[in-house]
Structure 1
Amino acid sequence: MLLDATSRVQNPALRQRLMSAREAAELIPAGANVGMSGFTGAGYPKLIPQALAARISAENAAGRPFRIGLWTGASTAPELDGALARVNGVEMRLPYQSDPTSRKLINAGQMEYTDIHLSHVAQYVWFGFLGKLDVAVIEVAGILPDGRLVPSTSVGNNKTWLEQADKIILEVNSLQNPGLEGMHDIYYGTQLPPKRVPIPLVQVGDHIGEPYLHCDLSKVIAVVETHQPDRNSAFAEPDAVSQAIAGHLIEFLQHEVKLGRLGPDLLPLQSGVGNIANAVLAGLDQGPFEHLTAYTEVLQDGMLQMLKSGKLAYASATALSLSPAAAELFEREIAFFRQRIVLRPQEISNHPEVIRRLGLIAMNSMIEADIYGNVNSTHVMGSSIMNGIGGSGDFARNAYMSIFMTPSTAKGGAISCIVPMVSHVDHTEHDVQIIVTEQGLADLRGLSPKERAKLVIEKCAHPDYRPALRDYVRRAAEGAPGLHTPHLLDEAFSWHTRYLREGHM
């Protein structure tokens, strides 16, 4: 267990490397690839990125260009992504971001961005595909006397960063609840091809590793003590649109149980982040299903409430993503939650082999879908990144049931989220089984393209856009060169170009 409250740094050798965040930031060279902890505003270093941003700003002002490559688990918070983006300190960002300043720089062509399936990141680093990782900056909840590291509120790619980086900087956050110790399952059994062996995880609650992270202590060049909270953002209360989407989905799941394709406890749930996802989870919490489990990448408010109510028996994730109120509940009742939550590396939480084995019900959001079932979850009007694909592709391709959800319109009705052809494809029609909007639900399993188009239009499109979509399908069936997936190629993106030209589809 963690030592007394005087210090979370219990290893004598690492206590000799304690320094300020400013001093630690001085040890990161220009041009370095830096792997930082953090996943959806949880478990990211709080002080070192801000100190590094201040150093970058001073160096650039003195005429000495200074930028880094920034690798994380997923999105982080303003103290990390925002601070470094504001000083234009990032040359290459991967694998996922949600920071508005970073987004602006990426879409202006001033920051390079590689959007990667989250399950691929660790193995790409091990394969050498992304180049050398120079420095790892990792937040931990404590360092044990023997040098083992107690992970914090996210695991993400921390295991890989610690193993692969030439140098390591640890940010030890004493505000992280000591009750986190024992909540993690760090699996060290992955190997490179051709020596890979099956991952021995067959139930959501299986522990196949150990509660601690390891690192080569000789690589640790700095330890910084902090006492800073995670950045927790409040979720909006479910609105009528989100509640309608949730209602359609729960009705559908009840029908699947009635048909015998699902049991009364369903299958393990995976849920993306956001207000619609929380509305679905709130609906499940009030619904007829019992003894549910979750195998997901992020545990958010809705699942925490389901654990409290008893609807959800156990949840596996790689990170927490909680509102301030939910974070307070988690802190207050961490002993309860430690018996029902496990946090894993994202290479395990998002692993296709495990997802396929467990048979997940994957529920993710999207920006738009087309009439044939292709889904765009990353780009606005084809060329501007929003956030990234995150883990949705890991789950959609391999789940027992792949569900995508969105309101039927955006921008007050100026944009239809159901279009003739998506302006960017992240999930092809082959990976998308079910599309849900507040208008209804389209079950696309086993349907031909023309059958899918009819169902998506009638079930999911907003009534204001259905006539135009029906007209497009009718004319495509008359004039397309092939009638398997009829398209009018000179009109397929006309809705998007009209919006860009006129401000309305």
Structure 2
Amino acid sequence: MSEDRIRNAALRDRVVPAATAAALIHPGQTVAMSGFTGSGYPKSVPQALAARIEVAHAAGEAFQIRLLTGASTAPELDGALAKVDGIALRLPFQSDPDARRRINDGTLAYIDAHLSHVAQHAWFGFYGDIDVAVVEAVAIREDGSIVPSTSVGNSKTWLDLAKHVIVEVNDWQPAGLEGMHDIYYGTALPPHRRPIPLEHPDDRIGETALRVDPDKIVAVVRTRAPDRNSPFSPVDATSEQIAGHLIEFLRHEVDKGRLPANLLPLQSGVGNIPNAVLAGLAKSGFRDLTAFTEVIQDGMLDLLRSGVLASASCTGFAMSPEANAAFKDEIDFFRRKIILRTQEISNHPELVRRLGCIGMNGMVEVDLYGNINSTHIMGSRMQNGIGGSGDFARNGFMSIFMSPSTAKNGTISSIVPMVSHVDHTEHDVSIIVTEQGLADLRGLSPKQRARQLIDRCAHPDYRDALEDYFERALRDSYGKHTPHLLPEALSWHQRWLDTGDMRPAANPPT
């Protein structure tokens, strides 16, 4: 690795192997690491720490840490530490199968949190002291400030609060990232908060590097390793149908004068359906769109190239290997179009509301009245976490939730009488989209919402059963405002647990 990446001479003297740096982390400590959705996370120190923990466990010694990040990371961090049972507590979001298994078997404590809350809760002291911060960097400048790599996440907060800091300087990440970041240092604790001076998604209000006291940096590790994100599946017919319904709706909103011709700033969750929506936007005729979002994935890079998207503000990337390679080749172009911010700005509720963001996120299920479950399978098994969806659903101009109408080969309906877990209440939900159609829930009473969801979004295999439940609830429920039959409200979920199919025996698959 060229020494150009470590431009502070004193810190070049602190370069050590990953195992030496990992030895500075001790059992029971709270360790905060960079990373947001598979980008910008440390790669060598977590693996060295996992190896150390495995040796300790083999010797009968207890060794776990409390792990805080920006969002999910990747196998080299979450996966490596979960496999050796090295995590006692994890927050605020994860997507690793080994970590998920331990969360759901009760051996790993997990705090699912709104991503906009994490930095301020750390400052409030809710998570206790942060002993060590481990962050990935593109470079360390002459003054000791750190140029982040492909995510910012909560790194600013971790560097501010941690007693000790370990920096991984990753030569694989493009040096051209320098200048893409916007680190805002104007936030404060109540009662001293001030308005954030951001008026447009592409405003720059901060600095291009992270401040840190060089005396806190106890080790620097040189690395050369790629970000790793789960590959996206090819866009399928279901995703294209969902995208088609949503694009048609957005055009309708423009025609009605409820949205400007270039819409409002877009927020998009991660996955195949959001990527299909972005691909649909590329062909839709919209131009000069903006994004104020958490994550940029492959589809947004295409929109930026084509000019459909004028600019994008985010806190991290979730790109396929092919998109990552193209991003590196075109880094000078994307540095003019993309702004990487701290997580507390990218997800800030006041900014989301003032900018009027259009939130587009996935869901596990929605009930007849518009309540959303986006985190739990059958009410108790954690999938990934709420992430930033609540930040945008509660505060955005419009909150859109998307899903296929069924899951598990049709044995699960995404439209149910009552959700088995509530992440977003009916009050925060505007639009539901499945491949069957789109339900606009704005301005509707609970019973009106139920009719829309059954008629427009439910799969035909479940439509009659939903209609039957709703009609009987109208007749027999305790109250008629939000009609429910409590003994039956979660019976669909119990039927799936008992039989592997939500459909009643009298309602076989079509």
Verify: 1:87 aligned to 2:78, yes or no. Answer: no
Q: Give yes or no for contact 1:233–1:324 (8 Å, CA) kept in 2.
A: no
Verify: 1:360 aligned to 2:363, yes or no. Answer: no
The DSSP-based 3-state class of the residue aligned with 2:433 is strand
| TM-score of the aligned structures, taking structure 2 as reference length | 0.98
Report Cα offsets for 1:140-195 as digits up to 9, x if no partner: 00101111111100000000000000110111111110100000000000000000
Q: Work out which of the residue numbers 211, 214, 223 in structure 2 matches 1:214.
A: 211
Runs of 5+ consecutive residues of structure 1 not aligned to the other structure: none
Q: How many angstroms apart in 1 are the aligned matches of 2:67 and 2:230?
A: 23
Aligned to 2:282: 285
Q: Work out which of the residue numbers 419, 424, 441 in structure 2 matches 1:427.
A: 424
Q: How many angstroms apart in 2 are the aligned matches of 1:485 and 1:146?
A: 61
Q: Give aligned-pair identity as a percent.
A: 65
Q: Work out which of the residue numbers 369, 377, 381 in structure 2 matches 1:380.
A: 377
The DSSP-based 3-state class of the residue aligned with 1:308 is helix
RMSD over aligned CA atoms reads: 0.8
- The correspondence of residues 57-96 of structure 1 with structure 2, limited to 5 A, is 57-96=54-93
Q: Work out which of the residue numbers 33, 44, 49 in structure 1 matches 2:41.
A: 44
Q: How many angstroms apart in 2 are the aligned matches of 1:324 and 1:450?
A: 46
Report Cα offsets for 1:266-318 as digits up to 9, x if no partner: 00100000000000000001102111000000000110000011100000000
Verify: 1:402 aligned to 2:406, yes or no. Answer: no
Report Cα offsets for 1:410-466 as digits up to 9, x if no partner: 001000000000000000000001000000000000100000001000000001100
Aligned to 1:246: 243
Q: How many angstroms apart in 1 are the aligned matches of 2:26 and 2:325?
A: 38
The DSSP-based 3-state class of the residue aligned with 1:69 is strand
2:33 partner letter: M
Report Cα offsets for 1:326-374 as digits up to 9, x if no partner: 1111011110100000000000000001000100111000000001000
Aligned to 1:319: 316
Q: Work out which of the residue numbers 286, 301, 304 in structure 1 matches 2:301.
A: 304
The DSSP-based 3-state class of the residue aligned with 1:369 is strand
The DSSP-based 3-state class of the residue aligned with 2:66 is strand
Aligned to 2:482: 485
CA shift at 1:101, angstroms?
A: 0.2
Verify: 1:200 aligned to 2:197, yes or no. Answer: yes
| TM-score of the aligned structures, taking structure 1 as reference length | 0.99
1:315 partner letter: A
Q: Give yes or no for contact 2:115–2:347 (8 Å, CA) kept in 1.
A: yes
Verify: 1:175 aligned to 2:172, yes or no. Answer: yes
Q: Work out which of the residue numbers 117, 130, 138 in structure 2 matches 1:120.
A: 117
Q: How many angstroms apart in 2 are the aligned matches of 1:52 and 1:63?
A: 17
Q: How many angstroms apart in 1 are the aligned matches of 2:96 and 2:151?
A: 18
Report Cα offsets for 1:448-487 as digits up to 9, x if no partner: 0000001000000001100000000000011111000000
Q: How many angstroms apart in 1 are the aligned matches of 2:252 and 2:9?
A: 60
Aligned to 2:137: 140
Report Cα offsets for 1:478-501 as digits up to 9, x if no partner: 111100000000000000000000
Q: How many angstroms apart in 2 are the aligned matches of 1:230 and 1:484?
A: 50
Aligned to 1:30: 27
CA shift at 1:240, angstroms?
A: 0.5
The DSSP-based 3-state class of the residue aligned with 2:460 is coil
Aligned to 2:508: none
Q: How many angstroms apart in 2 are the aligned matches of 1:500 and 1:481?
A: 27
Q: How many angstroms apart in 2 are the aligned matches of 1:232 and 1:128?
A: 31
2:155 partner letter: N
- The correspondence of residues 445-484 of structure 1 with structure 2, limited to 5 A, is 445-484=442-481
CA shift at 1:6, angstroms?
A: 3.5
The DSSP-based 3-state class of the residue aligned with 1:203 is coil
Verify: 1:159 aligned to 2:156, yes or no. Answer: yes
Aligned to 2:7: 10
CA shift at 1:196, angstroms?
A: 0.3
CA shift at 1:13, angstroms?
A: 1.5
CA shift at 1:7, angstroms?
A: 4.2
Q: How many angstroms apart in 2 are the aligned matches of 1:234 and 1:90?
A: 26
Q: How many angstroms apart in 2 are the aligned matches of 1:416 and 1:6?
A: 56
Q: Give yes or no for contact 2:41–2:136 (8 Å, CA) kept in 1.
A: yes
